Amino acid sequence: MRHRQTIALLALVGLFVALYLWLHALGFGGAIKCGASGGCEVVQTSQWAVFLGLPVAFYGVAGYFALLAVAILGLRPAALPDRTWSVLLAGLASAGFLFTVYLTYLELFVIHAICRWCVGSAVIMTVIWVVAVSGLRRNDGMMER
Amino acid sequence: MNRFYALVGVLAVVLGIAVFALLRSGGTAPAAAAGPPPTVVDDGFRGYTLGQGSARVEITEYVDFECPVCASFATIQMPTIKEQLINTGRVRWRFRDYPLPIHKYSRFAAHAAQCAGAQGHYFEMQDQLFTHHQWAQTGKDPSDLFRSLAQAAGVDLKAYDACQEAGRYAQRIEFSRQEGDQLLVDGTPTFFANGKKLEFRRLPGSDDFKVIVDSIIAHSH
């Protein structure tokens, strides 16, 4: 249960980080708040800021929302013993983690700019992945029923 | 368990407020981006130049930093022109600002380049502005991006910020634009060779300039 709760809370934070970046990409608000480095604008205005026709941050919103929803649904008393939810969470987290690795590679080696919000999201997604995989190995729901 | 859902609810509200506040507090571009200054004074500056003072041909380019054609010319044609005409001592290239009124941030970009130029990094900043030209397509306030580009160009940000905030070179840029008007500049980029306006039916390439320069040098013998 703790694993799913942790994932839900982390996904909620990640959801709002991605939401901020997505709304900014849609033109809401002024300059992105990014500290002195300003790397966020470089990343957000690069050609890699759009993936399959949609702002990259949109996939973050969708991914974090899916993780949050699955984690919350998996916390229902009836769902707690069911390992399927842990498998689903681990699958989603792995997809999100791989996408995060790809985006971080682009920042470091292609765009040569670091966006602090993206780094924050990458850290959140990495922790979610670690927790989800660890929950899978411990057979989360069954163990803590 | 109920405490957990309460925590999720409180966290969602706090994060929602934080995102709303972040979006509302997004900065706006400084005064230098707003428009022409009310008064214009000639400070004697006539543009940054590339090439030797002894070059027999001087090309003057009226440039708008937000103009995609200017960016394309700067990134695709200019490297060859530098290599074949400027670095060989045949041409001196002078850059003059001509921010078009249809472009929201071109005056601001020109000012950023001038502020970088005050620190000896005009050309590095020009390269940054043209190479990362995606800013011109987003329509969003590029203040933060320009700071990061200035940093990449080797500019000291403290002095850059002070320069941008004060709009130190706003009059210089407007003077250049008015000069362009007097010379009948009607778009960007517009080129002059030794003071004579060059007319092209399409965006010129390095070969076009080579022909022009060869012709001027041949006729000046």
- Count of domains observed in chain A: 1
| Statement: residue B2 has pLDDT above 90 | no
Burial class (CB in 10 A: 0-12, 13-18, 19+), B6: exposed
The CA-CA-CA angle for residues B190, B131, A40, to 5°, reads: 135
The answer to whether the beta carbons of residues B54 and B179 sit under 8 Å apart is no
pLDDT digits (tens, 9 = 90+) for A57-93: 999 999 999 999 999 999 998 888 889 999 999 999 9
Question: What's the pTM?
Answer: 0.58
Mean pLDDT, to the nearest integer, of B2-21?
91
pLDDT category of residue B207 using cuts at 50, 70 and 90:
very high
Domain spans, chain B: 2-219
Percent of chain A, pLDDT > 90?
52
Mutate to test the interface with B, among A17, A34, A42 (most CBs of B within 10 A): A42
Would you say how long chain A is, in residues? Answer: 145
Distances (CA, A) of B53 to B48, B50, B91, B93, B136: 12, 9, 9, 10, 33
Give the distance from residue A1's alpha carbon to the nearest chain B alpha carbon, in angstroms: 10
Mean pLDDT, to the nearest integer, of B89-99?
96
Q: How far apart are CA B164 and CA B148, in angstroms?
A: 14
Q: How far apart are CA A38 and CA A31, in angstroms?
A: 10
Distances (CA, A) of A72 to A2, B85, B130: 12, 67, 47
Give the distance from residue A101's alpha carbon to the nearest chain B alpha carbon, in angstroms: 24
Of A47-61, B7-21, B94-108, B199-213, where does mean pLDDT reach its minimum? A47-61
- B134 contacts A38? CB cut-off 8 A: no
Across the strands, what pairs with B97?
A: B63
- B140 contacts A27? CB cut-off 8 A: yes
pLDDT digits (tens, 9 = 90+) for A83-126: 999 999 999 999 999 999 999 998 888 877 788 889 999 999 99
* Structural domain B2-219, CATH architecture: 3-Layer(aba) Sandwich (3.40)
Question: What is the span of the domain harbouring residue A62?
Answer: 2-143
| Statement: residue B25 has pLDDT above 70 | no
Residue A126: which CATH number?
Answer: 1.20.1440.130
The answer to whether the beta carbons of residues B209 and B85 sit under 8 Å apart is yes
- A46 contacts B134? CB cut-off 8 A: yes
Mutate to test the interface with A, among B13, B145, B155, B164 (most CBs of A within 10 A): B145
Q: What's the token pair of residue A119?
A: 């780094």
Distances (CA, A) of A134 to A86, A89, A144, B142: 10, 11, 14, 43
The answer to whether the beta carbons of residues B10 and A13 sit under 8 Å apart is no
Predicted pLDDT at A138: 66
On chain A, the residues whose CB falls within 8 A of the CB of B148 are 37-39, 41-42, 113
More confident residue, B32 or A32: A32
Give the distance from residue A33's alpha carbon to the nearest chain B alpha carbon, in angstroms: 7
| Statement: residue B135 has pLDDT above 70 | yes
Measuring CA to CA, which residue among B148, B127, B152 is closest to residue B75?
A: B127
Measuring CA to CA, which residue among B216, B157, B214, B173 is closest to residue B33?
A: B173
Q: How far apart are CA A110 and CA A106, in angstroms?
A: 5
The residues of A whose Cβ lies within 8 A of any Cβ of B are 5, 8-9, 12-13, 15-16, 19-20, 23-24, 27-34, 36-42, 45-47, 72, 75, 113
> Does the CB of B7 have a partner CB in chain A at under 8 Å?
yes
